[in-house]
């Protein structure tokens, strides 16, 4: 089972843009910092742009930069922009009807997972990109 690094990658990208504030940063430069491919960076830039967190432009002088100040971008904003499904989720497989545990585990965990997701979102809302940049 692998880990989804989409959120961490998007946050890293915004930190790169904050570091080069006011400059147009290419997807290649961000990919080099993150040690990934520029195609992934461009896909995430599209999502971050749709959320109003970055602006992009094409061409020889193209790239991306922040659309808002680091103080006004929260980690929850980033999460909402790029995470498509909750981090914690129950199985998508049909439960075994012959097993009482299998039939009940999804409902038992759903409320716990939902509460954890809400707590995480509330915590992410408290941290801005500016605070992350101070730690870097």
Average pLDDT of the residues of the chain: 91
Instruction: Give 72-122 pLDDT, tens digit per residue.
Output: 999 999 999 998 877 777 777 787 888 888 888 888 888 898 899 999 999
Q: Is the pLDDT of residue 24 over 80?
A: yes
Check: CATH 1.10.10.10 for 6-135?
yes
Give me the DSSP letters along the chain.
-----HHHHHHHHHHHHHHTTTS-B-HHHHHHHHTS-HHHHHHHHHHHHHTTSEEEE-STT-EEEESS-GGG-BHHHHHHHH--S-SS----SPPPTT-HHHHHHHHHHHHHHHHHHHHHHHHHHT-BHHHHHHH-
Average pLDDT over residues 52-66: 93
């Amino acid at each position: 089972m692998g880990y989804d690094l989409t959120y961490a990658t998007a946050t890293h990208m915004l930190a790169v843009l904050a570091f080069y504030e006011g400059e147009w940063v290419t997807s290649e430069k961000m990919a080099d910092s993150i040690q990934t491919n520029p195609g992934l960076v461009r896909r995430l830039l599209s999502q971050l742009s749709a959320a109003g967190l970055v602006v992009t432009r094409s061409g020889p002088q193209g790239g991306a930069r922040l659309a808002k100040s680091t103080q006004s971008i929260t980690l929850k904003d980033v999460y909402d922009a790029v995470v498509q499904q909750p981090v914690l989720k129950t199985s998508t497989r049909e439960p075994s009807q012959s097993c009482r545990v299998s039939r009940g585990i999804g409902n038992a965990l759903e409320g716990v997972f939902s509460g954890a997701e809400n707590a995480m979102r509330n915590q992410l809302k408290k941290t801005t990109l500016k605070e992350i940049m101070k730690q870097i």
